[in-house]
């Protein structure tokens, strides 16, 4: 037990000691704006390196998109090209490391994905085969319905012979995860200010000296904007498309029935350790309805519209998961995806002010911890890591 802890600590010291020295000499004050999974992960890694960090959020930490995500950690075929997929693979590895650091239990269930139509099925398998030609990829297998039914005996795979089994995928409870990071940030002596809205940057002699917030001025040498869907507004630039909505349903605890992350035709779902089933949908929201949403609400404003979509989701789901009809629905949320113009992460300093750093992306759950580590390294070592070359904001600015 002691020996294990000792080895863990040695490994940790080896990782952080050079940065502590570096920080002592540069003594930078860094403010991270946005306490979703991305900003909180960055602030956590900075605080681990002994950097005086202040993390602020205009609302409660974790109340943005990270609060209404499907929470799936994966490096599956839609993440392409290789540079993006590789970052996601490192994302899985980073979660494996951080789960030990935080003593946090991640459900590494693996996922099953299939589609109904023959044409889409062929496209799916072609995409997965392309993934399998990368130099590295997470463990994937194509299995038939008989094997899939051994893994999931309550699902109807309809004699499908091409089901994609991605074995290394996991899920987290993102809010709980963010809270744990915040506890550690406090423990490391850094600060988290909630309900503190970034308003503007103050310059002294052409260099950033502070930011102005709704709660007053905060001294800063460098600013990291991890503001999700608010990135365009904050920078007054177009880096992201209009946010894309998705519905997330959480059931009340139900008997254990699902083992894996299920990406079935039309909806996706998994069951948490506490028995709750989490369900997401693929393109069920109608344009007519989404056009009515102003200010990206996290809930439907009428019960009737909410019921309409819950029923739609149940009708789609019952075609392969009959138990969906027996679930008691506890919560229905609308999440808004931050989607960069080319759908790849945006991570790096601005060309016109190197003391401003941007980190915004879809797949922010998968990428949060690895982005936290890499960004903290770039900020403290004042260098650019080549692994992030494809994701720089300069491609849009
Ligand atoms: C339905 C749905 C399903 C998804 N499923 C997955 C999935 O399975 N796997 C996956 O990897 N990703 C998934 N995503 C995407 C993922 O959830 C996001 O990429 C991720 O949550 C973004 O995190 P973030 O920290 O960048 O943004 P957020 O969580 O939105 O955090 C940004 C924060 O910035 C704050 N902020 C904004 N402006 C200011 C300001 N002026 N001052 C102070 N604070 C400010 C906001 O209040 C907010 O808390 C999904 C998204 C949706 C909507």
Residue pLDDT, tens place only, 338-376: 999 999 999 999 999 999 999 999 999 999 999 999 999
How remote is the CA of residue 122 from the centroid of ligand 1, in Å? 32
At 52 the pLDDT is 86
Q: What is the pLDDT of residue 370?
A: 98
Which protein residue's CA is at the shortest distance from atom 53 of ligand 1?
A: 335
Site to substitute for ligand 1 among 32, 60, 66, most atoms within 8 A of C-beta: 66
Secondary structure percentages of the chain, helix, strand, coil, to 5: 40, 25, 35
Residue having the nearest C-alpha atom to atom 8 of ligand 1: 72
Domain limits, CATH 3.50.50.60, in the chain: 2-69+174-240+342-395
Give which of 274, 276, 280, 264 is closest to 321, Cα–Cα. Answer: 264
Listed in order, the ranges of the chain carrying CATH 3.30.9.10 are: 109-170+242-337
What's the pTM value of the predicted model, to 2 decimals?
0.93
The reported pLDDT for the residue numbered 19 is 35
Q: How far is the CA of 105 from the centre of ligand 1 (A)?
A: 22
Ligand 1, from 364, 366, 371, 372: best to mutate by most atoms within 8 Å of Cβ? 364
Burial (CB count <10 Å: 0-12, 13-18, 19+), residue 291? exposed
Nearest to 246 by CA among 273, 280, 212: 280
Residue nearest to atom 52 of ligand 1 (CA): 69
Using a 6 Å cutoff on CB, does residue 169 contact ligand 1?
no
pLDDT of residue 291: 86
Helix axis angle, 364-381 relative to 82-102, nearest 10°? 90
Which three-class secondary structure state does DSSP give residue 166?
strand
DSSP-H helix ranges across 49-133: 82-102, 118-131
Q: What was the pLDDT predicted at 11?
A: 42
CB-ligand 1 contact for 360 (6 Å cutoff): yes
Predicted local distance difference test score (pLDDT) of residue 382:
83
Q: Which of 337, 343, 367 has the most ligand 1 atoms within 8 A of CB, as the residue to mutate?
A: 337
How many whole angstroms separate alpha carbon 314 and alpha carbon 333?
15
- Identify the segments of the chain with pLDDT beneath 70: 1-27
Q: What are phi and psi of 250, to 5 degrees?
A: -120, 130
Q: How many CB atoms lie within 10 A of CB 314?
A: 17
DSSP sequence for 324-374 = GGGPPEEEEEEEEE--BTTSS-EEEEETTEEEEEEEE-SSHHHHHHHHHHH
Ligand 1 in reach of 218 Cβ (< 6 A): no
**Strands 207-213 and 198-204, how do they pair?**
antiparallel
The answer, yes or no, to whether any atom of ligand 1 lies below 6 A from the CB of 175, is no
Class of 2-69+174-240+342-395 per CATH? alpha beta
Residue 247, pLDDT score = 98
Query: For a pocket test of ligand 1, which of 43, 69, 270 has the largest count of ligand atoms closer than 8 A to its C-beta?
Result: 69
User: Measured between alpha carbons, how far is 228 from 230 in angstroms, rounded to an integer?
Assistant: 5
Q: Which residues contact 92 (CB under 8 A, 6 or more apart)?
A: 73, 74, 75, 138, 168, 169, 170, 366
SS3 212: strand
73: helix, strand or coil:
strand
CATH class in words for 109-170+242-337: alpha beta
CA-to-CA distance for 371 and 87, rounded, in angstroms?
9
């Amino acid at each position: 037990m002691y020996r294990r802890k000792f080895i863990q600590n040695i490994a940790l010291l080896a990782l952080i000691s050079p940065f502590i020295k570096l920080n002592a000499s540069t003594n930078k004050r860094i403010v991270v704006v946005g306490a979703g999974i991305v900003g909180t992960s960055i602030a956590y890694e900075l605080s681990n390196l002994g950097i005086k960090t202040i993390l602020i959020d205009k609302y409660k930490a974790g109340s943005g998109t990270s609060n209404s995500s499907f929470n799936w950690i994966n490096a599956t075929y839609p993440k392409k090209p290789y540079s993006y997929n590789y970052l996601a693979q490192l994302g899985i590895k980073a979660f494996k490391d951080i789960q030990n650091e935080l003593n946090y239990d991640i459900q590494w269930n693996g996922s099953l994905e299939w589609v109904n139509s023959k044409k889409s099925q062929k496209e799916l398998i072609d995409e997965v085969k392309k993934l399998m030609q990368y130099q590295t990829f997470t463990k994937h297998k194509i299995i038939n319905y008989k094997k899939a039914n051994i893994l999931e005996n309550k699902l109807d795979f309809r004699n499908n012979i091409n089901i994609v089994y991605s074995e290394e995928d996991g899920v987290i409870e993102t809010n709980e995860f963010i809270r744990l990071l915040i506890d550690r940030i406090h423990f490391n002596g850094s600060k988290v200010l909630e309900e503190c809205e970034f308003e503007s940057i103050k310059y002294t002699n052409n260099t950033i000296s502070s930011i102005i917030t709704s709660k007053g001025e905060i001294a800063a040498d460098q600013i990291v904007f991890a503001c999700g869907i608010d990135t365009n507004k904050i920078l007054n630039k177009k880096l992201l498309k209009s946010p894309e909505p998705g519905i997330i349903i959480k059931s009340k605890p139900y008997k254990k029935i699902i083992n894996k992350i299920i990406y079935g035709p039309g909806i996706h779902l998994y069951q948490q350790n506490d028995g709750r089933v989490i369900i997401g949908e693929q393109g069920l929201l109608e344009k007519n309805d989404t056009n009515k949403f102003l200010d990206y609400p996290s809930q439907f404003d009428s019960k009737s519209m909410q019921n309409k979509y819950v029923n739609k989701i149940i009708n789609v789901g019952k075609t392969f998961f009959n138990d969906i009809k027996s679930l008691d629905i506890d919560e229905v949320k609308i999440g808004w995806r931050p989607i960069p113009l080319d759908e790849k992460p945006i991570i790096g300093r601005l060309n016109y002010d190197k003391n401003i750093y941007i980190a915004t992306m879809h797949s922010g759950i998968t990428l949060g911890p690895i982005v936290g580590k890499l960004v903290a390294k770039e900020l403290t070592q004042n260098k650019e890591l080549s692994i992030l070359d494809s994701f720089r904001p300069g491609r849009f600015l």
